[in-house]
Amino acid sequence: MQMHPDVNKILFTEDEIKAHVARLGAAIDRDFAGEDVIIVTVLRGAAIFSADLARAIKTVPVEMDYMAISSYGASTKSSGVVNIQKDLSSPITGRNVIVAEDILDSGLTLSYVLENLAAREPKSLTFMPLFIKKGVQKVHIDVDYPALEIPNEFVVGYGLDYAEKYRNLPYLAVLDPKVYSK
């Protein structure tokens, strides 16, 4: 496979990601048979994953909804407190909500988002990250479905960016340090 010149190692290929997303879609079809689900996407990184996940669900009816959040300042990543810039378009009370996330990192931002969604009293709330950075979580978040584990390195691709670039790479790769040490 042709690698982008700014990355130096592919951790998960396009085919490996596709196979994993297909398994997650099949698991949703199995576990939510006879029900319907809303896939919630927290912009922007998760948009690629959620679009593929939705298409990997073959039988369960799917709705898609989106949230945009922003930090209150530089401390956000350590406090997890976020500002909701764009809220969901529809209520989720009594619904099966699946939060499709690209990556579980510290978990701080995501636990805040999940608490916010739980307060709206959905019928079920499932957190489904595609990738998990090993050993860096600062809070515990339940993950009910298998995720692809990655080391604590600067990764890009499949939705993940560096300075808003590389989200379009179809694989997950380690960014070459030459790019950010310039």
Binding site for ligand PRP (CB under 6 A): 42-46, 101-110, 161
Answer yes or no: 105 catalytic.
yes
Q: Minimum distance between the CB of residue 161 and ligand PRP, rounded to whole angstroms?
A: 5
Residue with smaller CB distance to ligand PRP, 94 or 118: 118
Query: In this complex, which beta carbon is closest to ligand PRP, that of residue 13 or of residue 76?
Result: 76
Range 131-135 contact pairs with CB under 8 angstroms and sequence separation of 24 or more = 131/12, 131/102, 131/103, 131/104, 131/155, 131/160, 131/172, 132/103, 132/104, 133/103, 133/104, 133/105
Q: Least distance from C-beta 45 to ligand PRP, angstroms?
A: 3
Nearer to ligand PRP, 60 or 104 (CB): 104
**99 alpha carbon, distance to own chain's centre:** 7
Residue tagged active-site, from 15, 36, 105, 176: 105
Q: How far is the CB of 1 from ligand PRP (least distance, A)?
A: 24
Name the residue number minimizing CB distance to ligand PRP: 45
Taking the C-alpha atoms of residue 129 and residue 100, their distance in angstroms, rounded to an integer, is 6
**Phi, psi (5° rounding) for residue 108?**
-65, -50
Q: Could you give the residue numbers annotated as active site?
A: 105
